[in-house]
Amino acid sequence: MWQHVSSRGTCTNVPPTTTPRSILYTVPITDMALSGEQIRHYYMDVTTGQTVSCSTNGPNGDADLYMRFGDQAVPDSAFVGNACSSDSDTSMESCSTAAASAPTRVYAAVHAWSTFSGLTFQCTVSAVMYTVPINNMALSGGQIRHYYIEVTTGQTVSCSTNGPNGDADLYMRFGDQAIPDSAFVGNACSSDSDTSMESCSTAAAWAPTRVYAAVHAWSTFSGLTFQCTVSAVMYTVPINNMALSGEQIRHYYMDVTTGQTVSCSTNGPNGDADLYMRFGDQAVPDSAFVGNACSSDLGTSMESCSTAAASAPTRVYAAVHAWSTFSGLTFQCTVSAPTGSPTSARPYVQTHDKQAYDTQAHNSQAHDTQAYLMS
């Protein structure tokens, strides 16, 4: 008698088969038993940038574990097409893939080198970073997709799903992957109507942290758009020791009145930080974007950028973009005195709206114009 998990996570008794079955990422398959040379195939659908880690834990026999992108794994550690292989002389195996280069299906194969029983098989799928909308998401009932955004103290995160069919639910949590259960008190928010139109917002972060969002398919859906926005908070001191990985971006803003100009600069010892500014909306990290008020991308982390005088009271946005990884950078802005005021210019910098690029949209670290989320 064998146990198998369906796409909804319920267990059914089926014979050993080479037909792959979808599994839930976080639901273990328990009490698996196979005779020598039998094999059981599973798969998980993932998006760009996600990794999959699977394991077997059994008290007897010899179960081996193999994984592969795009097709059934071959139970042979010498097969170069596998993403990973684990074939010790026990039933305690673990296997992890590299990050997916595109949306794909990851297959896992549990192979009985010798007869085993009482084995537990489980897989986990990593979360992915993003800041651009994710369109045309499709999940089968019971499946879940995890994402995260890094924020700083005082920032809030608001996420939403917009889909024409099925039932997608939305959960958010500080510091760890969200649990798809509205009764779980550790979640920051939950939204689980009977449709795929959900919205969820966190309270302000009390410290720099990672905010996780989980989109869970209560029932199968397709054509869904998932999007989050991150708020910004103001403060008036330079930002020191900034560090970003390649293609990450941080957004800032300053409120100004008519006639004021804003000048910003970066000063860093390594890497390549670029600087962009814009009136009225978040700056786009592309010097060819004509909507920016100024751009500075010299190939170092020493950049400076100044706006013209504001024609009316408005918000000036600045974006620090990591063309390549940098650390130890200082970012500072000064705002000129309003027209006619006798006071001198003063430092005036707004806190960062830190956003890490979605690996789904930026796996290749492309340096091009994107549709950025607006806080």
Q: What is the pLDDT of residues 252-263, one digit of tens each?
A: 888 887 888 889
Dihedral sign (CA 65, 68, 70, 72): negative
Per-residue DSSP letter, 317: E
Q: What's the average model confidence in pLDDT over 163-186?
A: 95
Interior angle at CA 116, CA 110 and CA 120, nearest 5: 60
> Same domain, yes or no, for 290 and 208?
no
Burial of 47 (0-12, 13-18, 19+ CB in 10 A): buried
- Residue 146 placed within a domain: yes
How does residue 131 score in pLDDT terms, banded at 50, 70 and 90?
low
Paired strand residues for 52: 125
CB atoms within 10 A of CB 276: 27
pTM: 0.53
- Residue 372 placed within a domain: no
> Same domain, yes or no, for 174 and 66?
no
> Same domain, yes or no, for 216 and 148?
yes
> Same domain, yes or no, for 193 and 285?
no
Dihedral sign (CA 329, 335, 336, 341): negative
How does residue 49 score in pLDDT terms, banded at 50, 70 and 90?
confident
Dihedral sign (CA 69, 73, 77, 80): negative
Interior angle at CA 25, CA 203 and CA 217, nearest 5: 60
Structural domain span for residue 168: 128-230
Q: Return d(Cα 320, Cα 132) in angstroms, integer.
A: 17
Burial of 220 (0-12, 13-18, 19+ CB in 10 A): middle
Task: Return all residues near 234 (Cβ < 8 A) that are at least 6 apart.
Answer: 253, 254, 255, 350, 351
In the prediction, which pLDDT does 296 show? 96
- Residue 66 placed within a domain: yes
Beta pairing, strands 3-5 & 11-13:
antiparallel
> Same domain, yes or no, for 118 and 132?
no
CB 110 within 8 A of CB 117: no
Average per-residue pLDDT in the chain?
81
Residue percentage of the chain with pLDDT more than 90: 53
> Same domain, yes or no, for 258 and 351?
yes
The enclosing domain of 354 has a CATH number of 2.60.120.380
> Same domain, yes or no, for 270 and 211?
no
Q: What's the average model confidence in pLDDT over 71-99?
A: 95
- Residue 13 placed within a domain: yes
- Residue 371 placed within a domain: no
> Same domain, yes or no, for 117 and 160?
no
184, 211, 230: which is the final residue of a domain? 230
> Same domain, yes or no, for 27 and 114?
yes
> Same domain, yes or no, for 71 and 92?
yes
- Residue 25 placed within a domain: yes
Residue percentage of the chain with pLDDT more than 70: 79
Tell whether the model's pLDDT for residue 94 goes beyond 80: yes
- Residue 120 placed within a domain: yes
125, 144, 167: which is the final residue of a domain? 125
- Residue 224 placed within a domain: yes
Interior angle at CA 192, CA 143 and CA 201, nearest 5: 105
Q: How many domains does the chain have?
A: 3
> Same domain, yes or no, for 199 and 277?
no
Tokens 């699977």 correspond to 54
String of b and e for 280-304 (b: at least 16 CB within 10 Å)? eebbbbbeeeeebbbbbbeebbbbe
Using one digit for the tens of pLDDT, what is the confidence trace for 323-356?
Answer: 999 999 999 888 876 654 333 333 333 333 333 3
> Same domain, yes or no, for 7 and 121?
yes
In the prediction, which pLDDT does 55 show? 95
Higher pLDDT, 45 or 85: 85
230, 259, 278: which is the final residue of a domain? 230
In the prediction, which pLDDT does 22 show? 57
Q: Return d(Cα 91, Cα 110) in angstroms, integer.
A: 10
Paired strand residues for 65: 86, 110
